């Protein structure tokens, strides 16, 4: 009776309270990258098109499905809150579906271990944090779990539709459906009629997406592929880091080789009982690992790219632990205690992660003040109220500024919203840390920004050779106009163009 009450009431209430507490703690925290998408949605619902800067159709995002999903709700409430509310809803649905899906996937798994599994998801830092700061993490993970849920009930077509839908949320997910299909054919597990139907849906979605992308943005790929190119050297470095359990793009502990081996056992155990389902798990996780190894290390230093794959990875990992316990450790008397201890260590490490990473001391340091963007909101609103409406502002941190200032933003460093800059980055193979870089000279002159907004270190470097309180960038003079404290010893400095 007590165990039943814990499993059905106390434990679910704990998970709900935990997730709501995190939601409330991060209620006004939004990643600067998320604000880029918010700005696109804002322009879209105002009838100005899916653009970051007015009249410039450039796909400076990789989460189209997430932006379009938020758009209808954003007519009623501000886009940032829509992202927050949807994230909480999607996390709850993901956890609930996972719990009930496990009954079909691993029927022998005791109910207490199912609770361990969903708790591990609920306290997984990268998954919950990036979901709550405006990114597409929760939607993508939900699509994966929905696909797994339907395949566990042998609803292949429904599962296929959800997997195909994932490519609308993140481009790398275009790999999942073909990988799954090839594995089904090789293993002779495919229903040929249903496979043909799903393949037609996949091809149709891909053709429609690319046709729309070409006619709207005049490109077949998002501009981010040029703005953030991966060179062969980058790939080799990432692979070496992965081989040494040190790839920062992969969320802890899934870069660890022992955890990876246990996860492989989990995929194998599911494939033994339900082959198409096991192959689906393998296809999703392969995509997650391939993309994490392919992409340049994220500026956050965390597993943002892998965060959406975490619920799937946790399911397979704990299934692997259970499989090893039942298959190879039957002779060990306390194997269930050992199993529980390992899973509980995963849970407590997740809770520790939240406490450690979100503590005030770290929350005020880079990259955290960009990850939650709180210090950036006030300056962005001030700029909206105190600069000309047609002003052009050059900066490397474009999201929050673009959303709140409603100004034309020139992204000189990454070129996410500027195809000339992104083309130069692709050509040179690196980003431009200084606006004085010779490669962007012509583009800077062409845009002729009215303002430059940068951190203290960048402005000090620009002024190093000038003692007159002004500096020159490609023939255009600027001077300090306003300083905004955004962190200890770091100001966001607004410099205006000096006109004769």
pLDDT at site 382: 97
H or E element, residue 205: helix 192-217
pLDDT tens digit string along 188-223? 988 899 999 999 999 999 999 999 999 999 999 999
pLDDT tens digit string along 271-311? 998 899 999 999 999 999 999 999 988 889 899 999 999 99
Give the pTM.
Answer: 0.94
Q: How confident is residue 101, by pLDDT bands cut at 50, 70 and 90?
A: confident
Q: How confident is residue 2, by pLDDT bands cut at 50, 70 and 90?
A: low
**Rounded-to-integer distance, Cα 347 and Cα 351, Å:** 6
Q: What is the mean pLDDT of residues 46-53?
A: 96
Helical pair 335-357 and 310-328, crossing angle rounded to 10 deg: 160
pLDDT at site 465: 67
Q: What is the mean pLDDT of residues 230-239?
A: 85
Provide the token pair at 470.
């002004």
pLDDT at site 28: 93
> Which residues touch 303 (CB under 8 Å, ≥6 apart)?
126, 248, 249, 250, 251, 252, 254, 292, 310
What does the domain layout of the chain look like in residue ranges?
A: 2-30+62-363, 373-497
pLDDT at site 340: 80
CB 169 within 8 A of CB 65: yes
Sole residue written with tokens 């604000």: 35
**Rounded-to-integer distance, Cα 288 and Cα 252, Å:** 14
pLDDT at site 500: 67
pLDDT tens digit string along 104-146? 777 777 777 788 889 999 999 999 999 999 999 999 999 999 9
- Answer with the residue of higher pLDDT: 241 or 177: 177
pLDDT at site 7: 66
pLDDT at site 322: 87
- CA distances in angstroms from 50 to 41, 42, 56, 273, 435, listed in the order given: 7, 9, 9, 46, 27
**pLDDT at residue 329 tops 80:** no
Provide the token pair at 432.
């431009």
Q: How confident is residue 360, by pLDDT bands cut at 50, 70 and 90?
A: confident
């Amino acid at each position: 009776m007590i165990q039943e009450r814990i499993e059905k009431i106390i434990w679910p209430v704990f998970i709900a309270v935990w997730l709501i507490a995190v939601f409330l703690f991060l209620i006004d925290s939004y990643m600067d990258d998320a604000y880029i998408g918010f700005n696109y949605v804002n322009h879209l619902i105002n009838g100005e098109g899916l653009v970051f800067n007015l009249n410039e159709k450039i796909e400076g995002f990789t989460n189209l499905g997430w932006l379009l999903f938020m758009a209808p709700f954003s007519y009623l409430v501000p886009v940032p809150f829509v992202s927050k509310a949807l994230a909480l809803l999607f996390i709850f649905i993901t956890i609930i579906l996972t719990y009930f899906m496990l009954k079909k996937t691993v029927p022998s798994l005791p109910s207490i271990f199912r609770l361990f599994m969903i708790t591990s998801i609920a306290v997984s830092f990268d998954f919950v944090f990036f979901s709550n700061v405006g990114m597409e993490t929760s939607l993508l993970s939900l699509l994966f779990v929905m696909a797994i849920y339907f395949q566990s009930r042998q609803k292949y077509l429904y599962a296929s539709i959800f997997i195909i839908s994932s490519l609308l949320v993140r481009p790398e997910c275009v790999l999942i459906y073909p990988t799954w299909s090839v594995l089904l054919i090789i293993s002779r597990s495919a229903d040929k009629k249903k496979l043909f139907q799903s393949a037609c849906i996949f091809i149709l979605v891909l053709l429609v997406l690319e046709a729309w992308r070409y006619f709207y943005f005049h490109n077949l790929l998002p501009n981010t592929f040029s703005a953030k190119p991966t060179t062969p050297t980058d790939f080799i470095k990432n692979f070496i880091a992965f081989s040494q359990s040190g790839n920062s793009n992969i969320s802890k502990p899934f870069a660890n080789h022992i955890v990876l081996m246990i996860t492989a056992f989990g995929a194998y155990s599911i494939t033994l009982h339900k082959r198409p389902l096991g192959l689906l798990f393998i296809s999703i996780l392969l995509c997650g690992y391939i993309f994490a190894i392919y992409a340049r290390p994220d500026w956050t230093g965390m597993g943002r790219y892998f965060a959406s794959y975490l619920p799937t990875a946790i399911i397979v990992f704990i299934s692997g632990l259970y499989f090893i316990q039942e298959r190879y450790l039957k002779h060990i008397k306390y194997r269930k205690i050992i199993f529980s201890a390992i899973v509980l260590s995963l849970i407590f490490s997740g809770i520790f992660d939240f406490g450690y990473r979100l503590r005030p001391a770290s929350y005020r340091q880079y990259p955290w003040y960009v990850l939650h963007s709180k210090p950036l909101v006030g300056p962005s609103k001030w700029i909206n109220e105190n600069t000309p409406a047609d002003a052009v502002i050059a900066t490397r941190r474009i999201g929050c500024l673009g959303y709140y200032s409603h100004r034309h933003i020139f992204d000189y460093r990454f070129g996410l919203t500027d195809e000339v800059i992104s083309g130069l980055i692709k050509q040179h193979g690196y980003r431009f840390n200084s606006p004085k870089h010779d490669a962007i000279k012509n583009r800077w002159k062409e845009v002729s920004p009215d303002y430059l907004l940068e951190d203290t270190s960048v402005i000090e470097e620009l002024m190093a050779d000038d003692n007159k309180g002004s500096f020159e960038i490609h023939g255009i003079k600027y001077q300090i106009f306003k300083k905004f404290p955004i962190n200890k010893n770091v100001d966001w400095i607004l410099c205006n163009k000096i006109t004769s």
